[in-house]
Amino acid sequence: SAKEKGRNQFHMFDPGLDECRRQRRNQLMELSRALEHGELELFFQPQVRVSDNALIGFEALIRWRHPERGLLLPHQFLPAVADSHLETPLGQWVLKEALQQLNLWRAAGESLGVSINISVQHLLDRNFVPHLEDYLHSHPDVDPGSITLEVLETAALKDLKRASEVLTRCQGLGLQVALDDFGTGFSSLTYLRTLPVDLIKIDQSFVLNMLDDASDRAIVESVIFLAQRFAHPVLAEGVETMEHASVLREMGCNLVQGFGIARPMPAADTLAWARQWRGQAQRQGAGRLSPSL
Protein backbone atom coordinates (compact mmCIF):
# COMPACT_ATOMS: atom_id res chain seq x y z
CA SER A 1 0.00 0.00 0.00
CA ALA A 2 0.97 3.62 -0.32
CA LYS A 3 1.15 3.78 3.45
CA GLU A 4 3.56 0.84 3.60
CA LYS A 5 5.63 2.39 0.84
CA GLY A 6 5.70 5.69 2.65
CA ARG A 7 6.80 3.93 5.77
CA ASN A 8 9.61 2.11 3.97
CA GLN A 9 10.81 5.31 2.38
CA PHE A 10 10.83 7.02 5.72
CA HIS A 11 12.65 4.01 7.11
CA MET A 12 15.36 4.31 4.44
CA PHE A 13 16.23 7.76 5.69
CA ASP A 14 15.85 6.96 9.35
CA PRO A 15 17.40 3.70 10.52
CA GLY A 16 16.92 4.95 14.10
CA LEU A 17 13.19 4.33 13.74
CA ASP A 18 13.76 0.58 13.62
CA GLU A 19 15.71 0.68 16.86
CA CYS A 20 12.95 2.75 18.39
CA ARG A 21 10.30 0.19 17.44
CA ARG A 22 12.42 -2.66 18.72
CA GLN A 23 12.85 -0.92 22.07
CA ARG A 24 9.13 -0.35 22.39
CA ARG A 25 8.42 -3.99 21.56
CA ASN A 26 10.83 -5.10 24.26
CA GLN A 27 9.33 -2.70 26.75
CA LEU A 28 5.85 -4.04 26.03
CA MET A 29 7.04 -7.62 26.44
CA GLU A 30 8.66 -6.77 29.74
CA LEU A 31 5.55 -4.94 30.91
CA SER A 32 3.31 -7.82 29.94
CA ARG A 33 5.52 -10.11 32.02
CA ALA A 34 5.40 -7.59 34.88
CA LEU A 35 1.59 -7.63 34.77
CA GLU A 36 1.62 -11.45 35.03
CA HIS A 37 4.18 -11.47 37.83
CA GLY A 38 2.37 -8.91 39.95
CA GLU A 39 5.02 -6.19 39.69
CA LEU A 40 2.44 -3.48 39.04
CA GLU A 41 0.93 -1.68 41.96
CA LEU A 42 -1.52 1.12 42.64
CA PHE A 43 -0.54 4.05 44.81
CA PHE A 44 -3.22 6.36 46.21
CA GLN A 45 -3.26 10.14 46.64
CA PRO A 46 -5.82 11.89 48.88
CA GLN A 47 -8.44 14.29 47.53
CA VAL A 48 -9.70 16.81 50.07
CA ARG A 49 -12.74 19.10 50.15
CA VAL A 50 -11.75 22.71 50.76
CA SER A 51 -14.84 23.83 52.71
CA ASP A 52 -14.40 21.44 55.65
CA ASN A 53 -11.09 19.63 55.01
CA ALA A 54 -12.95 16.34 54.60
CA LEU A 55 -11.08 13.55 52.87
CA ILE A 56 -13.43 12.54 50.09
CA GLY A 57 -11.30 9.78 48.59
CA PHE A 58 -8.11 8.84 46.77
CA GLU A 59 -6.91 8.85 43.18
CA ALA A 60 -5.38 5.55 42.06
CA LEU A 61 -1.98 6.05 40.37
CA ILE A 62 -0.08 3.19 38.79
CA ARG A 63 3.49 2.25 39.75
CA TRP A 64 5.82 -0.50 38.56
CA ARG A 65 7.99 -2.17 41.17
CA HIS A 66 10.73 -3.14 38.78
CA PRO A 67 12.99 -5.92 40.09
CA GLU A 68 16.15 -4.10 38.96
CA ARG A 69 15.20 -0.47 38.37
CA GLY A 70 13.12 0.13 41.51
CA LEU A 71 9.82 1.96 41.68
CA LEU A 72 8.91 3.34 38.26
CA LEU A 73 6.52 6.25 37.62
CA PRO A 74 3.86 6.24 34.87
CA HIS A 75 5.86 8.51 32.54
CA GLN A 76 8.59 5.84 32.51
CA PHE A 77 6.37 3.11 31.07
CA LEU A 78 2.89 4.32 30.11
CA PRO A 79 3.98 6.03 26.86
CA ALA A 80 5.01 2.62 25.46
CA VAL A 81 1.57 1.25 26.33
CA ALA A 82 -0.40 3.97 24.53
CA ASP A 83 -2.32 2.52 21.56
CA SER A 84 -0.74 -0.90 22.06
CA HIS A 85 -2.46 -4.27 22.66
CA LEU A 86 -1.56 -3.86 26.34
CA GLU A 87 -3.51 -0.65 26.93
CA THR A 88 -6.86 -2.32 27.58
CA PRO A 89 -5.57 -5.28 29.67
CA LEU A 90 -3.56 -2.85 31.79
CA GLY A 91 -6.62 -0.62 32.21
CA GLN A 92 -8.69 -3.66 33.21
CA TRP A 93 -6.12 -4.56 35.82
CA VAL A 94 -6.15 -1.01 37.23
CA LEU A 95 -9.95 -0.91 37.34
CA LYS A 96 -10.20 -4.27 39.09
CA GLU A 97 -7.49 -3.37 41.59
CA ALA A 98 -8.98 0.05 42.38
CA LEU A 99 -12.45 -1.40 42.94
CA GLN A 100 -10.93 -4.03 45.23
CA GLN A 101 -9.37 -1.23 47.24
CA LEU A 102 -12.79 0.42 47.48
CA ASN A 103 -14.11 -2.86 48.93
CA LEU A 104 -11.30 -2.94 51.49
CA TRP A 105 -12.04 0.63 52.64
CA ARG A 106 -15.73 -0.20 52.95
CA ALA A 107 -14.95 -3.36 54.90
CA ALA A 108 -12.92 -1.17 57.29
CA GLY A 109 -15.93 1.11 57.75
CA GLU A 110 -14.55 4.03 55.74
CA SER A 111 -16.78 5.66 53.15
CA LEU A 112 -14.11 6.86 50.75
CA GLY A 113 -14.30 7.36 47.01
CA VAL A 114 -11.83 6.17 44.42
CA SER A 115 -10.82 8.03 41.24
CA ILE A 116 -9.53 5.92 38.40
CA ASN A 117 -7.63 7.14 35.32
CA ILE A 118 -9.19 5.59 32.22
CA SER A 119 -7.58 5.54 28.78
CA VAL A 120 -9.78 6.03 25.75
CA GLN A 121 -8.98 2.62 24.28
CA HIS A 122 -10.09 0.99 27.53
CA LEU A 123 -13.16 3.20 27.78
CA LEU A 124 -14.24 2.18 24.28
CA ASP A 125 -13.64 -1.53 24.92
CA ARG A 126 -16.85 -3.54 24.63
CA ASN A 127 -16.32 -5.03 28.10
CA PHE A 128 -15.85 -1.73 29.90
CA VAL A 129 -19.45 -0.95 30.85
CA PRO A 130 -20.48 -4.61 31.40
CA HIS A 131 -17.55 -4.98 33.80
CA LEU A 132 -18.76 -2.00 35.83
CA GLU A 133 -22.33 -3.31 35.75
CA ASP A 134 -21.16 -6.69 37.03
CA TYR A 135 -19.20 -5.04 39.82
CA LEU A 136 -22.11 -2.86 40.94
CA HIS A 137 -24.48 -5.82 40.68
CA SER A 138 -22.31 -8.01 42.90
CA HIS A 139 -21.65 -5.14 45.35
CA PRO A 140 -25.14 -3.69 45.90
CA ASP A 141 -24.00 -1.82 49.01
CA VAL A 142 -21.39 0.22 47.11
CA ASP A 143 -22.51 3.75 46.27
CA PRO A 144 -21.76 4.07 42.53
CA GLY A 145 -21.16 7.77 43.17
CA SER A 146 -18.03 6.85 45.11
CA ILE A 147 -16.40 5.79 41.83
CA THR A 148 -14.98 8.54 39.61
CA LEU A 149 -13.67 7.91 36.11
CA GLU A 150 -10.94 10.39 35.16
CA VAL A 151 -10.64 10.94 31.43
CA LEU A 152 -7.95 12.97 29.70
CA GLU A 153 -8.64 15.53 27.04
CA THR A 154 -6.52 13.58 24.60
CA ALA A 155 -9.29 11.44 23.13
CA ALA A 156 -9.07 11.65 19.36
CA LEU A 157 -11.78 13.97 18.16
CA LYS A 158 -13.31 11.22 16.04
CA ASP A 159 -13.86 9.14 19.18
CA LEU A 160 -15.44 11.97 21.09
CA LYS A 161 -18.99 10.92 20.22
CA ARG A 162 -18.43 7.31 21.23
CA ALA A 163 -16.53 8.29 24.38
CA SER A 164 -19.34 10.62 25.26
CA GLU A 165 -21.93 7.83 24.81
CA VAL A 166 -20.00 5.43 27.03
CA LEU A 167 -19.50 8.07 29.72
CA THR A 168 -23.21 8.87 29.64
CA ARG A 169 -23.94 5.19 30.24
CA CYS A 170 -21.52 5.22 33.18
CA GLN A 171 -23.26 8.27 34.61
CA GLY A 172 -26.51 6.37 34.15
CA LEU A 173 -25.05 3.71 36.45
CA GLY A 174 -24.41 6.47 38.98
CA LEU A 175 -20.66 6.89 38.46
CA GLN A 176 -18.94 10.29 38.35
CA VAL A 177 -16.94 11.54 35.39
CA ALA A 178 -13.97 13.88 35.85
CA LEU A 179 -12.25 15.78 33.04
CA ASP A 180 -8.54 15.38 33.90
CA ASP A 181 -5.73 17.84 33.16
CA PHE A 182 -8.25 20.42 32.01
CA GLY A 183 -6.71 23.17 29.90
CA THR A 184 -3.72 21.24 28.60
CA GLY A 185 -5.36 19.92 25.44
CA PHE A 186 -5.97 21.74 22.19
CA SER A 187 -9.74 21.68 22.43
CA SER A 188 -10.61 21.92 26.11
CA LEU A 189 -13.79 23.85 25.45
CA THR A 190 -14.99 21.30 22.90
CA TYR A 191 -14.51 18.55 25.47
CA LEU A 192 -16.27 20.58 28.09
CA ARG A 193 -19.18 21.11 25.71
CA THR A 194 -19.36 17.55 24.38
CA LEU A 195 -18.45 15.17 27.18
CA PRO A 196 -20.77 14.50 30.09
CA VAL A 197 -18.79 15.85 33.03
CA ASP A 198 -19.32 15.95 36.80
CA LEU A 199 -15.95 17.34 37.88
CA ILE A 200 -13.18 19.40 36.30
CA LYS A 201 -9.57 18.82 37.34
CA ILE A 202 -7.26 21.78 36.76
CA ASP A 203 -3.89 20.54 35.61
CA GLN A 204 -1.04 20.90 38.08
CA SER A 205 1.06 22.74 35.47
CA PHE A 206 -1.19 25.78 36.00
CA VAL A 207 -1.42 25.42 39.76
CA LEU A 208 2.25 24.82 40.63
CA ASN A 209 3.46 28.34 39.73
CA MET A 210 0.28 30.31 40.17
CA LEU A 211 1.60 32.10 43.25
CA ASP A 212 4.43 33.70 41.22
CA ASP A 213 3.06 33.66 37.70
CA ALA A 214 0.21 36.05 36.93
CA SER A 215 -0.77 34.21 33.73
CA ASP A 216 -1.05 30.87 35.49
CA ARG A 217 -3.07 32.48 38.21
CA ALA A 218 -5.38 34.06 35.65
CA ILE A 219 -5.85 30.67 33.98
CA VAL A 220 -6.67 28.94 37.26
CA GLU A 221 -9.12 31.69 38.16
CA SER A 222 -10.76 31.52 34.74
CA VAL A 223 -11.12 27.74 34.82
CA ILE A 224 -12.79 27.95 38.23
CA PHE A 225 -15.11 30.65 36.91
CA LEU A 226 -15.88 28.53 33.83
CA ALA A 227 -16.53 25.45 35.97
CA GLN A 228 -18.91 27.41 38.16
CA ARG A 229 -20.79 28.67 35.11
CA PHE A 230 -21.24 25.03 34.06
CA ALA A 231 -22.17 24.15 37.67
CA HIS A 232 -19.33 21.64 37.82
CA PRO A 233 -17.26 21.28 40.97
CA VAL A 234 -13.56 21.83 40.36
CA LEU A 235 -10.47 20.11 41.78
CA ALA A 236 -6.99 21.63 41.66
CA GLU A 237 -3.98 19.29 41.35
CA GLY A 238 -0.47 20.28 42.32
CA VAL A 239 -1.35 21.85 45.66
CA GLU A 240 2.14 21.86 47.14
CA THR A 241 1.79 24.43 49.93
CA MET A 242 -0.68 25.87 52.36
CA GLU A 243 -0.64 29.12 50.42
CA HIS A 244 -1.77 27.29 47.27
CA ALA A 245 -4.67 25.84 49.23
CA SER A 246 -5.78 29.12 50.74
CA VAL A 247 -5.55 31.06 47.46
CA LEU A 248 -7.54 28.30 45.74
CA ARG A 249 -10.15 28.43 48.46
CA GLU A 250 -10.55 32.18 47.98
CA MET A 251 -10.98 31.56 44.27
CA GLY A 252 -13.85 29.17 44.99
CA CYS A 253 -12.10 25.90 44.21
CA ASN A 254 -13.98 22.93 45.72
CA LEU A 255 -11.38 20.18 46.04
CA VAL A 256 -7.60 19.95 46.29
CA GLN A 257 -4.98 17.30 45.70
CA GLY A 258 -1.22 17.63 45.98
CA PHE A 259 2.06 16.94 47.71
CA GLY A 260 1.12 19.59 50.33
CA ILE A 261 -1.59 17.24 51.56
CA ALA A 262 0.16 13.97 50.79
CA ARG A 263 2.22 12.30 48.12
CA PRO A 264 0.74 9.23 46.48
CA MET A 265 1.15 6.35 48.97
CA PRO A 266 1.03 2.54 48.92
CA ALA A 267 -2.46 1.05 49.39
CA ALA A 268 -1.42 -0.40 52.75
CA ASP A 269 -0.90 3.12 54.18
CA THR A 270 -4.26 4.61 53.15
CA LEU A 271 -6.42 3.62 56.13
CA ALA A 272 -3.97 4.87 58.74
CA TRP A 273 -3.52 8.08 56.76
CA ALA A 274 -7.29 8.63 56.49
CA ARG A 275 -7.75 8.18 60.25
CA GLN A 276 -4.91 10.48 61.10
CA TRP A 277 -6.19 13.13 58.70
CA ARG A 278 -9.65 12.98 60.18
CA GLY A 279 -8.29 13.39 63.69
CA GLN A 280 -6.29 16.44 62.61
CA ALA A 281 -9.10 18.01 60.60
CA GLN A 282 -11.47 17.65 63.55
CA ARG A 283 -9.03 19.28 65.96
CA GLN A 284 -8.59 22.13 63.52
CA GLY A 285 -12.33 22.59 63.06
CA ALA A 286 -14.30 22.69 59.86
CA GLY A 287 -13.24 25.27 57.34
CA ARG A 288 -9.72 25.62 58.68
CA LEU A 289 -6.67 24.42 56.83
CA SER A 290 -4.98 21.42 58.28
CA PRO A 291 -1.55 22.02 59.87
CA SER A 292 0.06 19.53 57.52
CA LEU A 293 -0.82 21.74 54.55
Q: Pick the closer one to ligand C2E by CB: 28 or 78.
A: 78
216 binds ligand C2E (CB under 6 A): no
In the complex, least distance from residue 75 CB atom to Mg ion, rounded to whole angstroms: 9
Single out the residue of 101, 180, 219, 235 in contact with ligand C2E (rule: CB under 6 A).
Answer: 180
Q: Which does 176 bind (CB under 5 to 8 A by kind): ligand C2E, Mg ion, none?
A: none
Residue facing Mg ion at closest CB distance? 150
Q: Is residue 17 within the footprint of ligand C2E (CB under 6 A)?
A: no
Give yes or no for residue 188 binding Mg ion (CB under 5 A): no
Site for ligand C2E (CB under 6 A): which residue of 125, 153, 221, 237?
Answer: 237
Burial class (CB in 10 A: 0-12, 13-18, 19+), 242: middle
Asked if residue 281 binds ligand C2E (CB under 6 A), the reply is no
Site string for ligand C2E, 29-68 (x = CB under 6 A): ----------------x--------------xxx------
Chain residues binding Mg ion by CB under 5 A are 117, 150, 180-181
Provide the binding-site residues for ligand C2E, judged by CB under 6 A.
Answer: 45, 60-62, 73-74, 78, 94, 117, 119, 150, 180-181, 204, 237-240, 257-259, 264
